Copies of this chain bind each other. A is one copy, B any other.
Amino acid sequence: MTQEDSILDIVNKEIERLHFDASPQSLFEPISYILSLGGKRIRPVLTLLSCELLGGKYKDAIPMALAIEVFHNFTLLHDDLMDKSAIRRGKATVHKKWNDNTAVLSGDAMLIESYHLISKNKKKHLKELLHLFSKTATEICCGQQLDMEFESREDVTEEEYIEMIRLKTAVLLGCSLKSGAIIANASEKDANLLSDFGINLGLAFQLKDDLLDVYGDSKKFGKNIGGDIASNKKTFLLINALKAESTREELQSWIRKETFVRKEKIKAVTAIYNQLGLKELSESRIEEYYEKAISCLEQVNVSEKKKKELYEIASGLSYRKS
């Protein structure tokens, strides 16, 4: 068992095996629904690969991998509610398909389920895994809170933005990899190197996500292009664009417009990004985080040959087209 594809098969089968058919069905049905929408399953795949890389058995890491994927989907469910998003992976979000209260309560039940899955780990690892997971989960709440606060601010700095995406997105990739290492009884050094690999990869991943939202192919990307521009989302691109004096007035007038033709706004703001060379700036920043990630992975005390899948995932996520 060494190929990412077969790991993904294993993850998908295990997710299908999770049963949420207890009573009342109205509480559990939305959980099955959101988990059935798919996604890359990148986090549980990383947990299993990390465990195998460091000499553990991937089977031992399955409860933890599932806990992280259930938790990730819980954050999507509550974030969609808070952000009032109508669509997730091409389907109606839970609060749209059911209602707000269902989204709150089924989300809560998912968060509890993720801890229930953690409790299935061996006693010797339980305390460390629980501590890591709760620390990470709290950081993710902090990231979401910052993200929401940035909506009403025009003075968000690049540094604040990077810290926000570190918390909201990157630490969970770090946690996925580190927990696999803990289950494999890896050294603290290797576990932390894998964590840092995940965090840097997460930063590259999110910057790439912001970039694809403007420059991606809507068919491949799975969502409408320009959503971040339309909603004035404080992305790496917008924050850097706001720094440039030459285009600031035009940009701010688009940001402050309450009514606009969506296509026109996206076209105009994209033109500003092009003029300022922000696509290239963003790509060079992605490259930097990718290189940092690779450097961490290189230092893990395991033969390079065994790291093949992780290198491939890192490159795939940083340079993906969708």
Contacts and interface: CB of A to CB of B under 8 A. Distances in A.
Copies of the protein in its oligomer: 2
Contacts of A268: none
A316 B5 CA distance: 61
A113 interface: yes
A185 interface: no
A137 interface: yes
A109 interface: yes
Shortest 10 CB-CB contacts between residues of A and residues of B: A116-B134, A119-B130, A27-B145, A109-B141, A82-B101, A112-B137, A24-B145, A119-B131, A126-B126, A115-B115
A263 interface: no
Nearest to A134: B116
A68 to B, nearest CB: 14
Interface of A: 22-24, 26-27, 78, 81-82, 100-101, 104-105, 107-109, 111-113, 115-116, 118-119, 123-124, 126-127, 130-131, 134-135, 137-138, 141-142, 144-146, 148-149
Contacts of A107: 108
A138 B115 contact: no
B142 A108 contact: no
A298 to B, nearest CB: 32
A238 B130 CA distance: 44
B138 A127 contact: no
A112 B141 contact: yes
B23 A142 contact: yes
Contacts of A116: 130-131, 134-135, 138
Given A101-B82, A123-B127, A141-B109, A24 B149 contact: yes
A113 B126 contact: no
A108 B148 CA distance: 15
Contacts of A127: 119, 123, 126
A122 to B, nearest CB: 9
Given A112-B134, A119-B130, A138-B112, A105 B144 contact: yes
A24 B148 CA distance: 11
Contact of A134 (B100, B119, B135, B149): B119
Nearest to A164: B24
Contacts of A111: 108, 111-112
A4 B151 CA distance: 49
Contacts of A24: 142, 145-146, 149
